[in-house]
Structure 1
Amino acid sequence: MLTELRQGLTVALKSRDRVAAAALRSALAAIENAQAVPVDTDGPTKPVGNEHVAGAVAGLGAAEAERRRLTDEDLRAILAREVGERHAAAEEYEGLRRRDAADRLRAEADVLVRYLHAPQPPGG
């Protein structure tokens, strides 16, 4: 699914589809955030007192962090949350009589729904 989202972003950018590009960028950013691992100060790297860089770390592997692996279910949950957030925000914009913004958010949600309901290839 992640590959399809990235390919979809490439297509949206090439075709100058701003709505699809915005929706896919946001969804990919949410996925990237979910893949981030929390900072563990008890590990091999310890915070170093440095007046120039707050929270600086030193030690072997200080600049490298392994990303969490997300399952297809995790990815679907993230996409579903993104769709839900867009629908909720669109309702708020409707209440504020901002139909243009509400329509844009609904269009972004529609883009993500296509990926949410797309058939998955065998084995993944």
Structure 2
Amino acid sequence: MSSGLEQQLRTDLTEAMRARDELTTSTLRMALTAVQTEAVSGKSARELTDAEVLQVLTREGKKRRESAEAYDAASRPELAQRERAEGEVLARYLPTPLTDEEVVSIVSAAIASSGAEGMKAMGAVMKLVTPQTTGRADGGRVSAEVRRQLGA
């Protein structure tokens, strides 16, 4: 039995195929392929949890953003637009991204609860913050905020 999120992707793929929605169909096929690849990676095949499927979708969304930026830099706006459109399809399945203010408050709360001071405490703060931000904020953005608040 596959995860609820994976099952939702399969159901939506079928609907997109019936509606002849080429963008959604190709994007969901790519996402499901990435999920299957993740499921068979490692020593033995396994069923992915919703959290693991979410990680795969987050990673695929990040690839789309980076590709769009690369195409923009290479003056290929039509390809950049396609990557952004695929990213929007994937975004339907991801939790609402955190705003900068929400990231600041999560990091502040983690620093206050752990009593962290200085850069040596960064790992401890990240350990507290990561579960709250996974899939909702870019890790680089979060670690930059932790560094800023710890006074580096």
TM-score (norm 1): 0.69
Q: Structure 2 CA distance, aligned partners of 1:2 and 1:82?
A: 14
Identity of aligned residues (%): 37
- List aligned pairs for 1:21-40, cutoff 5 A: 21-38=25-42
Residue of structure 2 equivalent to 1:96 = 74
The runs of at least 4 aligned residues of structure 1 exceeding 6 Å deviation read none
Aligned partner of 2:23 among 19, 23, 31: 19
Query: For 2:89, what is the secondary structure of its paired residue?
Result: helix
Q: Structure 1 residue 73: deviation in Å? A: 1.0
Residue of structure 2 equivalent to 1:8 = 12
Higher helix proportion, which one? 2
Q: Structure 1 CA distance, aligned partners of 2:63 and 2:93?
A: 16
Q: Structure 1 CA distance, aligned partners of 2:54 and 2:84?
A: 18
Q: Structure 1 CA distance, aligned partners of 2:35 and 2:41?
A: 12
Q: Structure 1 CA distance, aligned partners of 2:41 and 2:25?
A: 26
Higher RCO (CA 8 Å, separation ≥ 6 residues): 1
Q: Structure 2 CA distance, aligned partners of 1:86 and 1:98?
A: 14
TM-score (norm 2): 0.57
- List aligned pairs for 1:1-124, cutoff 5 A: 1-38=5-42, 67-117=45-95
Q: Structure 2 CA distance, aligned partners of 1:86 and 1:23?
A: 10
Gap regions ≥5 residues in structure 1: 40-65, 119-124
Q: CA offsets per residue over residues 12-41 of structure 1, 9 Å max, x none? A: 1111111111110111000000111546xx
Q: Structure 2 CA distance, aligned partners of 1:103 and 1:67?
A: 35
Query: What value does the CA root-mean-square deviation take over the aligned residues?
Result: 1.6
